[in-house]
Amino acid sequence: MIAKTLFGFEEILAKELLQLGAQNIETGVRMVSFKGDKGFMYKANLALRAALKILKPIHSFRLFNEQQLYKGIQVIDWSDYLSPDQSFVVDVTLHSDNFNHSQFVALKTKDAIVDQFREKYGRRPNIDKDFPDLRINVHIHKEQCSVALDTSGNSLHHRGYRTATNIAPINEVLAAGMLLLSGWDGQGDFLDPMCGSGTILAEAAMIACNIPANINRKEFAFEKWNDWDNDLFDKIVDSLMSKTREFHYTIKGFDKAPSAVEKAKDNIKNANLDEYVTITRDNFFDSEKETSGPLHILFNPPYGERLDIDMERFYREIGDTLKQGYPGTNAWFITANLEALKFVGLKPSRKIKLFNGKLEARLVKYEMYEGSKKAKFQEQQ
């Protein structure tokens, strides 16, 4: 199988797969391949935090033109996966000089499948773009075509808990991946001081309690497959839920916008996480650390893409607030405004390249010591 992910998350996804029990794990670009049985396919969809989709390859072949595409698709016995009464859709990814239009490839693939059914049964399955019984993924890279079944359906960042969003919500997989990259494991207090609609808070709580990422999701594509095994799926759910753990610290979020606070509270409640997460209306720039012991901060400040703010002043205030109010803190945030980072006035101890949508971004880490860094260094001598 292939787990698709965002740029920069390949290693953490491979680690997740290893912990889940996958075999033959290999990382690529924005993807990790692995082996597992049907139960593991269910488990991967339910539990992986950094995966966008799980694909199950069924055939691959070389091709240079549309005739070879048609023939290659026709080699597959589609009646193994579909009946003439069902529906399907074809998704295409292209990186090839021989084909430059994904719509054309999708159409040719559809023709090959439909023609096979007409010859065999005298009737054919329909196309349904919204609720197909089978999602077929065609990936052409140079002269290589691989055909896979999409086991997930909608992207796995649709966790099922977020009904309300604000103007610049962060993708759930991006939020979870950043948390994993930052080393968040639930062994301490957590704060998102610009929490928006609460996505980072929800993902942080699920990691802390080891709750499967997609437990709130309404459906997966494999539930419509001919070999769908409801009993096996229920067993996998029970087994994953038996591994959840107690959480003995605090997870807190603030936002200064009343509407964001309401939305975040709704989303946290939908995810059944309200016993772990507290959300209040506060301005980070007027705040200071409320807990003793180490604090883990992760947030997604505005970049100036959709919100009109004075970037220079805003990022300087982030640095000042961390310096003055948050000793003993590991503070992480993501920004696509690479210029604005200069104004924070602190030296990041880590910088990781990621993408937020199409925007190139950096996930940065600032280590705020108790007392001064110099004193800290002298203690260690």
- Backbone φ, ψ for residue 334 (5° rounding): -110, 140
pLDDT of amino acid 167: 58
pLDDT of amino acid 310: 84
Q: Give residue 1's identity as a one-letter amino acid code.
A: M
| pTM across the whole model | 0.92
* pLDDT tens, residue order, the chain (381 aa): 999 999 999 999 999 999 999 999 999 999 999 999 999 999 999 999 999 999 999 999 999 999 999 999 999 999 999 999 999 999 999 999 889 899 999 999 999 999 999 999 999 999 999 889 999 999 999 999 999 999 999 999 999 888 766 656 789 999 999 999 999 999 999 999 999 999 999 999 999 999 999 999 999 999 999 999 999 999 999 999 999 999 999 999 999 999 999 999 999 999 999 999 999 999 999 999 999 999 999 999 987 655 567 889 999 999 999 999 999 999 999 999 999 999 999 999 999 999 998 999 999 999 999 865 544 444 444
Q: How far apart are CA 84 and CA 208, in angstroms?
A: 46
Nearest to 26 by CA among 13, 38, 37: 13
pLDDT of amino acid 309: 74
pLDDT of amino acid 379: 46
Q: How are beta strands 295-299 and 329-335 bridged, if at all?
A: parallel
Domains of the chain: 2-150 (3.30.2130.30), 172-211+237-380 (3.40.50.150)
Q: How far apart are CA 173 and CA 158, in angstroms?
A: 9
Nearest to 49 by CA among 166, 186, 163, 149: 186
> For the purposes of burial, counting CB atoms within 10 Å of the CB of 184, is it exposed (0-12), middle (13-18) or buried (19 or more)?
buried
